Amino acid sequence: MITDEGQKVLLNWLITGQIFGGASLLSTPFRYLANTEVLTDSCAIVWDRQTLRELTSSYPTLLDNALSIAVTENLAWSTAAHVSLSSDNAHGRVAHLLMSLSSAIGEPTHDGVQMKVMNEDLAEGANVTPFTVSRCLRGWQRAGILAKRRGMILIRKPELLFAA
């Protein structure tokens, strides 16, 4: 979402198969609080409100799945973010975000878990500065915990993120 001051705030990362725009399931139009953007070539299935509501009436499992995803994933993300912001220092917040992202959007490789993410995204997601993210990543890279390329992070030893 974009704040009144024009700053982008990342609320969640979605992966293939996840839904967004679930507010269109509501009977009354709802002003969206956030936007969705993609980082790679993508496609999406789009239904208007009426069609979506007809589908969920005919196939209640669709509604159950949408609500389950909204509640479990969004609640898990919000809870993790709140706990991290309340109890972790900047280093810990970046580490927790990397661990969360590795399980959500990471792609397993023979060397570890790889994910496409920019320093700016990590800074926004962990509520730290890009300089802090860069400093954390450099330290973890020197320790062999991860490898960093432009727009890509490979986590080699996730268990050591919190020890370094």
Mean pLDDT within 18-27: 79
Contact 10, 125 (CB under 8 A): yes
d(CA 145, CA 127) in angstroms, rounded, equals 22
Q: What pLDDT digit, counting tens, does each position of 44-62 carry?
A: 888 888 898 899 999 999 8
pLDDT exceeding 90 applies to what percent of the chain?
29
pLDDT at residue 46 in the model: 86
Average pLDDT value for the chain: 84
- pLDDT range class, residue 76, cuts 50, 70, 90: low
Task: Report how far apart, in Å, the C-alpha atoms of 31 and of each of 26, 34, 51 are.
Answer: 11, 9, 19
Judged against a pLDDT cut of 80, whether residue 69 lies above it is answered with no
- The DSSP-derived string for 45-91 is ----HHHHHHHHHH-HHHHHHHHHHHHHHHHHHHHHHHHHHHH--HH
Give the strands of the sheet with 146-149, arranged side by side: 107-109, 112-116, 152-155, 146-149
Domains of the chain are: 22-83 (no CATH), 89-160 (1.10.10.10)
User: What mean pLDDT do residues 139-159 have?
Assistant: 94
Residue 28 has a pLDDT of 82
| The model's pTM | 0.67
On whether the CB atoms of residues 32 and 49 are closer than 8 A, the answer is no
User: Which helix (H) or strand (E) element contains residue 154?
Assistant: strand 152-155
